[in-house]
Amino acid sequence: MNSELEEEVDRLSEKGLLSLGYGEAELERLAALTLRLGRLKKERQAVIAAHVYQRPEVIHGAADFIGDSYKLAKDCAGVAARRIVFCGVRFMAETAKILNPEKEVFLPAPEAGCSLAESISSAEVRRLKAEHPGAPVVCYINTTAEVKAECDCVVTSANASKILKRLFAGHKKIVFLPDEWMGRNLASELGRKIGRELVVWKGRCIVHENFDASSVRLYRRTYPGVKILAHAECSPALVKLADFVGGTGGMMRYIRRTSAPHYMLVTECGLGDYARGEMPEKAFIPMCRLCPYMKMTSLSSVLQTLEAPRPAQRVEVKPEIAAKARKALERMFELAE
């Protein structure tokens, strides 16, 4: 092994890959890829954004920006590079393209969708608007560009509560889509009636709908003092039992500022892997599920996208759709800050 490769293997190990169970041969294979990737990024004037649910080798071996949906949208909005390669799912890459119409945006896994984004069409949003005239329509960022284009404001798990509170100051009724459980969780947090004050859609996240509230009770008995953190897409029954409810960025901040014998992250497994690498001194109890879409991106597909992207990996949003969706995203930045 040459010294450059050895240093890269050590860097990946220190980032937590060794303690996550990656063997020496695997680390050596990944290090060779990440070194090539680093050189290609410079040549291609590209930056790589990775959601925290991505595979550890993608996060630590490729990414310039790491974070939740809100942070990544903001990071991409201010980027100077010519190209953005998005390691995540389609709605995230579309958001990057909407905010950077002049840049080339690529999604290494073009088939990486999201059950929430697929749960509602733009025609269904138009129908909701006709049924609730005058009510602002707020969409979760987990939506297609066409759906965002029909909405007044976008929110993410990091700012939904703050933005809805602000909008409720001027409106009696708000339409929130597409995540039903997140809508119900927000309504109970804000003391608003579902239907009369907060109209919700019927979308579900196929990952978070699988967590069961009754096992949370069992974990509390088994691990005294455990802090249970639930993503806001979890069921209202489960959220009621959690110590913290929010998005992945909020969960990381909560772990950093608290001290507990154990933490349980009720969300996609990638967050636990990331948190273990960032805070090796803390103890995490696994209770996670894999998102099949988030795990579609591999280090070699990122490399291939940088070397010779396939047409399907190029993200395009029609200019008239992008212009409308951008307004809803800008409203989010305005109300969230």
Nearer to ligand 13P, 250 or 309 (CB): 250
DSSP 190-221: HT--BTTTEEE--B--TTGGG--HHHHHHHHH
Closer to ligand 13P by Cβ: residue 150 or 268: 268
Per CB under 6 A, the list member of 248, 297, 301, 313 interacting with ligand 13P is: 248
Q: How many CB atoms lie within 10 A of CB 133?
A: 7
d(C-alpha 259, C-alpha 22), whole Å? 28
How many Cα atoms sit within 13 Å of 176 on the Cβ side?
Answer: 31
Nearer to ligand SF4 by Cβ, of 177 and 291: the residue is: 291
Q: State the binding partner of 206 from ligand SF4, ligand 13P, none, CB within 5 to 8 A by kind.
A: ligand SF4
Q: Which parts of the chain are beta strand (E)?
A: 46-51, 65-67, 83-87, 104-106, 137-140, 153-155, 174-177, 198-200, 227-231, 244-246, 263-268, 284-285, 288-289
Give yes or no for a contact between 204 and 182, defined as CB atoms under 8 angstroms apart.
no
Q: How far is the CB of 135 from ligand 13P (least distance, A)?
A: 24
> What would the x/- binding string for ligand 13P be over residues 129 to 148, using CB under 6 A?
-------------x------
Q: Does 247 bind ligand 13P (CB under 6 A)?
A: yes
Q: Which of 203, 233, 234, 326 binds ligand 13P (CB under 6 A)?
A: 233
Q: Which of 54, 115, 157, 305 binds ligand 13P (CB under 6 A)?
A: 157
Site string for ligand SF4, 195-234 (x = CB under 6 A): ----------xxx-------------------------x-
Check if the beta carbon of residue 54 is closer than 8 Å to that of residue 93: no
Rounded to 5°, angle at Cα 255 from 251 and 259 = 155
68 contacts ligand 13P (rule: CB under 6 A): yes
Query: Which tokens sit at 257?
Result: 């500022």
Query: Which residues is 48 bridged to in the sheet?
Result: 85
Give the helix ranges, DSSP H, for 18-144. Answer: 24-43, 56-62, 69-77, 90-99, 122-131
Assess contact for 284 and 265: CB atoms under 8 A: yes
| Residue 114 near ligand SF4 by CB under 6 A | yes
Taking the C-alpha atoms of residue 252 and residue 67, their distance in angstroms, rounded to an integer, is: 10
Shortest CB 91 distance to ligand SF4, Å: 8
According to the binding rule CB under 6 A, does residue 301 interact with ligand SF4? Answer: no
Q: How many helices (H) and strands (E) does the chain have?
A: 15, 13
Considering only residues 243-262, where is the footprint of ligand SF4 by CB under 6 A? Answer: none
- Site membership for ligand SF4, residue 89 (CB under 6 A): yes
> Does position 205 bind ligand 13P by CB under 6 A?
yes
Footprint of ligand 13P on 73-132 (CB under 6 A): none
Among 34, 100, 119, 156, binds ligand 13P (CB under 6 A): 156
Q: Among ligand SF4, ligand 13P, none, what does residue 248 contact (CB within 5–8 Å per kind)? A: ligand 13P
Partner whose footprint covers residue 313, from ligand 13P, ligand SF4, none (CB < 5 to 8 Å by kind): none
Which residues of the shown chain bind ligand SF4 in the complex (CB under 6 A)? 89, 114-116, 142, 205-207, 233, 268, 291, 293-294
Which residues of the shown chain bind ligand 13P in the complex (CB under 6 A)? 68-69, 142, 156-157, 205, 231, 233, 247-248
